Structure 1
Amino acid sequence: MADEFLTNSKFYFEIDGITDLLVKKISGPQISMDVAGGDAPIGCTKGGVSQTQATIGGVKYNSAITLTFVAGNEAAQKKLEDWYIKCHSEAFSGGKIEARTSRKTGSLTIYDGDGKEMRFDFIDLFPGTLKQIGTLGGDQSGQVAEDTLELKFTKVVRKQ
């Protein structure tokens, strides 16, 4: 069942108050486990058979997802940009920010081929890096203008 979600699926991503964003791609979060030991034998048994042991040496993860979305939906993009500005001070003037009080919740819903849903809720979303494309050059004709937004979160919960 899980393989079906990954191989043939459609998805929808929403953030509190921003439900009409045309998302092309979502990437992250990434989790990896480091293994300690396992490379060298820890001893030998009868017949000269060596034994190894591997244990988890640590877990590395990043609590971020990156949205790639189609530029041109001014209403949704304006909401994202306003939220980003509210959470980040200006480079030269600094000033008050509302980063702690402007956290949001986001939901990623994945639909399998039969329309069944798998949903993940991202708690305490915070805009990290926003990359907006100005214009497409002549060598990029036929391409869609895309913006990217990195979102940090503190918790992810699988709902379905």
Structure 2
Amino acid sequence: MSEAFHSLRWPVFEDISNIRVASDPDSAEPELLPFEGHPIAAEAATKIPLKEIAFSLEVLDNYEAAEFEAPDRVFVRGADGGIVTVADVVKQLSAYFIAHKEAILEAKFPFLDFDKDNLSNTRVFFDGFTFIIEPGMYSLPVELWAEGENGESANHWRHGV
């Protein structure tokens, strides 16, 4: 995947207009610029340009609960049949995250440091990809991080996770 994803500060249940790009993702105090209209949005999502990428949610792939089935993987396709861009991934995964919000929060709950009454207000952020894309791979797992996970605040996310 493109290094551009390392720069994203992406609250996955919020509007795309809330996504920020860290000017220097390794800086303790990066300048955060809007994602919409940022040059990285138009970059290829992968080092080797692809027209389709399958994604799954790592937290749901590993979640075990009675009568729970992980959602099907989502196929992100390039706009107009072209190569998949960072913007294509963000837009299409955003809809996927929101569609599975309740399950994501339920799976994240055991790792959070507060009671279940506050779960619906929990902010969850994009945290990268578990693996690299390899030939024959079923799907690329997306990692998410929730505010309060491992006792960390959203400041943790702002400076890179």
TM-score by length of 1: 0.26
Where is the strand percentage greater, Structure 1 or Structure 2?
1
Larger radius of gyration: 1
Where is the helix percentage greater, Structure 1 or Structure 2?
2
TM-score by length of 2: 0.26
